[in-house]
Structure 1
Amino acid sequence: MNQASIHVLHYMLLRHITRITASAALILIAASCSSTGSRPSGPPTVVAHKEAARALEGKRPMALQWISWDHFGVAEVRNINKTYWISGRQQSRINGDFLKINGRISQIDATGFTFVGDITTKVYHINDGKPFTRSGPQRFLANTRRGYWRLANMNNPFGVTDYVDIFFNINTARQRPADAVL
C-alpha cells in the first residue's frame, strides 16, 4: 500500500464512516499504518501543560445539547507517537441526530486544546435536518468549575448556539451545565 493510499484510507475513516465507534476507527487507522510501518501523519502535538494532556487522554463523555444531556456519546483521545488524536460520536436514541468529532489535536495547554479536523452535527430542526460540518482549527476551552471542555466557536450559521462539551469524567457529565439550553 503506497503513502497516497494510506492518506486516502485515513481520510475516509476519519470523515465518512459514521457507524464505527471512536475506538474502532483509531484501531483501524493504527492497523493500516502498522502494515506499512508508517504512522498517522501530522506534526507532534504541542503540549504546553503535561497535566492537561494527561487529563484529556482516554475516553470522555461528550454531548451536544440538542441531542441529549442524559445519554452521552464518547470522545476518545489517544497519543500516537507524540501526536494526540480525537475521535468520537454521540447518537440520538430517538432519531438520526448525531455529533461527530475527528481530528488531530495540535495544542494542549492549561486553558484547553486546539484540534484540526471536523465537527459534524445533524439535528432534525436545524439546517433542514442536514449535516453541518465545521472544518479546520477548532478550540475547546476548559471550564474546571463545571468539569468540561467546551467548543469555543459555539455559533452555528443557522441561527442557533451549539454547546459541544467534552466532560472530564462521567460524574461531571451528569451535572447538567447551568447554561444548558434544552
Structure 2
Amino acid sequence: MRILSLLLAGLLATLTMAASAGTVEPTRVLDAGAAKRLAANKGLSLQWIDWNTRGTVAVKRDGGVWRLRGAQAEAGGPGRLLLDGTITEIGADYFTFEGRIAITDTPDEGRHCDRTKTWRFAVTQNRPYYRLREFEWCDGLTDYIDIYF
C-alpha cells in the first residue's frame, strides 16, 4: 500500500509540474492580411536609438504559435532594444505580445528597463507601423517602440 501511495504521489507531482509549466496557446489570428503584414515587417525602432536605421524583427510560426524576436543597437554607442516573446493575438490594426521588452543605456548610459508581461501594439492614424501602446512603462520617460510594415 505504501508503494502505491508513493507512486500516486509521484504521478500527482509530475502532473502538477506539467500543468504549472503551462502550454502556450496557439496565436489567435483574427485578420489574415494583418498577420501576413506583421510577418513581412520592415524592422523596428526606438526613438532614442535611431528613427532611420531600423533594427530587425523576426516573426516565425512554431506550429500554431507565432513568436517574435527583435533587436536594435545604437551605431557606435551602447544603446540597445530587445523584444522576445509570443504573439497571442493578431487583429486588423493591432497585435498583443506576451514577452520581454528590454531597453539598455539609452537615452542615457545606465538606464535599464526590463519587463516581461502582455504588451499591445497598434496602428493609429493610418501610420505605416505598429506602436507600443504603453509609452511610460519604465521610469517616466516616453519610449516609442515601432514595428514597421
TM-score, normalising length: structure 1: 0.65
* 1:69 positional shift: 1.0
CA distance in 1: counterparts of 2:125 and 2:146, whole angstroms: 12
1:1-182 aligned at under 5 Å gives the runs 42-126=24-108, 129-143=110-124, 145-168=126-149
Structure 2 distance, partners of 1:46, 1:146, is 23
C-alpha displacement of 1:139: 0.4
Contact conserved, 1:119 with 1:133, CA < 8 A, in 2? yes
Letter in 2 for 1:66: W
Structure number with bigger Rg: 2
Identity %: 31
Q: CA RMSD in A?
A: 1.6
Deviation (angstroms), 1:154: 0.8
Write the distance in 1 (CA, Å) between the matches of 2:54 and 2:113: 20
> Structure 2: where are the runs of 5+ without partners?
1-22
Distance 2:24 2:57 in 1: 20
Aligned pair count? 127
| Deviation by residue 1:69-118 (Cα, 9 ceiling, x = unmatched) | 12110111111211110001000002110110000000000120001000
**Is the 1:57–1:79 contact (alpha carbons within 8 Å) kept by the matching residues of 2?**
no
Q: Using the TM superposition, give the Cα deviation of residue 135 of structure 1 relative to its aligned residue in structure 2, in angstroms.
A: 1.2
Contact (CA 8 Å) 1:68, 1:92: kept in 2 or not? yes
What TM-score does the superposition give when structure 2 sets the normalisation length? Answer: 0.78
Question: What CA distance in whole angstroms lies between the structure 2 residues aligned with 1:53 and 1:144?
Answer: 19
Distance 1:46 1:56 in 2: 14
Where 1:161 maps in the other structure, the secondary structure is coil
Report if aligned partners of 2:136, 2:143 keep a CA contact under 8 Å in 1. Answer: yes
With over 3 angstroms needed to count, the CA separation of the structure-2 counterparts of 1:122 and 1:129, relative to structure 1, is same
Gap regions ≥5 residues in structure 1:
1-40, 169-182
Equivalent pair of 2:30/2:90 in contact (CA under 8 Å): yes
